A and B are shown apart, each in its own frame.
Chain A
Amino acid sequence: MTGWTIAAALCLGFGAGLLSGVFGVGGGILFVPTLLLLGLGQVEASATSLLAIVPTAAVGAWRQRTYGNLRVRAAALVGGVSVLGAELGVQAATRIDESLLRRLFGVLLLTVAAQLAIRTLRQGRRYPDEA
């Protein structure tokens, strides 16, 4: 890893965090393209994005808990069961073609963009802290 890669990663990471904070979208949809730009493959980018999400989600969840918005038992149930789904997702991601996975991720980004645009045009208000 060169000095330039490190500097680019730090700047892009800060920018991704800033955008997700301002626009109320999750860090992951910005981390994955950032990691692709830094030269990682699609599966590596997904895996690494998940690790980068952990501190952001921890800070966000802790803050929301102090606001009284977090329903701990529901979160524990959804999170606990999601581990089974996560294994299925990893199996699928490591088996299907990386270029197909990249295209599917592109479709996801287009969907998020459309949803954000529709939400903004329809009501002009946003829900912060979605991840």
Chain B
Amino acid sequence: MSLSTARIVITGVGLTAPNGDSLPEFRRHLLAGVGGVSRTEVHYMGEQLAGVCRYDALKWQKKKEVRVGTRAGSISIYCAREALADSGVVWDTVAKDRVGIYIGITEHGNVETENEIYNISKFNYDTKFWSHYHNPRTVANNPAGEASLNLGVTGPAYTIGAACAAGNMGLIHAAQMLRLGEVDFALCGGVSESIHTFGIFAGFKSQNALATHPDPLKASRPFDLARNGIVISEGGCLYALERLEDAQRRGAKIYAEIAGWHVNSDASDYVLPNPTRQAECVRAALARARLAPRDIHIVNTHATATPLGDIQECEAIRAVFGEGCPDTSINNTKSFIGHCMGAAGALELAGNLPSFDDLTVHPTINVDNLDPQCALPGLVLNQPRQVAKADTILNNSFGMLGINSTLIVRRFVA
């Protein structure tokens, strides 16, 4: 088989989410209805609702690495190391110049820049107190670069800026690079440190798009009639991706096969989604995967719980999946963990992967009153659903400036 048509498989998963620091823990909580939104202190704004991760950074980093590096770098290292460990690859035998690290990010550098401005505000804004670490911390490749340093990877390691479509983009780009023969092993997905920047909170608040609720665990509620915005979260999820031949040669456990993908742009607005382009993106991914809408068993939505955005995505999904897809279940993971920004797509796919084994679809929680405009057939509300077939997952992730990404994975069959 030529490289360009090589089958690409997922052989490892490393993640940290606001409700779990490993795939088994994350999945257990998704099936048990356990969310992870809490409160955190934000510069200048006081306490805000947020998804905070609680992984042990010192499991894979020295204290000095944590001090010198960024939160996004630390999350990347944790997820990369966990994915490697999960993959079972014998790291000492891997040619490090044939490993690629491709990490999707919504943004990077805001946290570090804001922290430095806050720091020099204590010194009358005298820039001689500005950190000499500012530039290595804020370069856009920082999260991937920190992972390469920690792992000794000498192959390509960089980030992919794609707003909140970025998590899918990391996987898609890695699959492309494996098919081009640029690398033989990839660590890919997305990360986010966005809860540490007040600017993201303040920006969404000014946009009237920041969720409020007296109970943090109820705050993120896509498709609910009373939804009122986004809960910002941090997190990360990186996958080990390989060509099937290589994975089989080493007897790797295979989680799933990459079946298809598509990326397009709305070219219509800075922030408002475009359901027509979203539907085109989904259809093009289906075409690449040679699947019909009715062949998709789980659709994981991007919906962030903004009043308009959810309706528009539902419009796109309705246009593609309509009424003729009796085996298609639809869910949303942000209802548990908020919006993990650059990590969202990668984490949300991970949360659904175990469905191939347990034939259960995790629900969308916090839906007390379903918005009639979001009442899609197949929506799994509040309780997990047992299904007869779970062979395919379609994962949507969309972002500002109108970038759309759809990734489809299928159960691996030799």
- Asked if A and B are interacting partners, one says no
A interface residue numbers (CB < 8 A to B): none
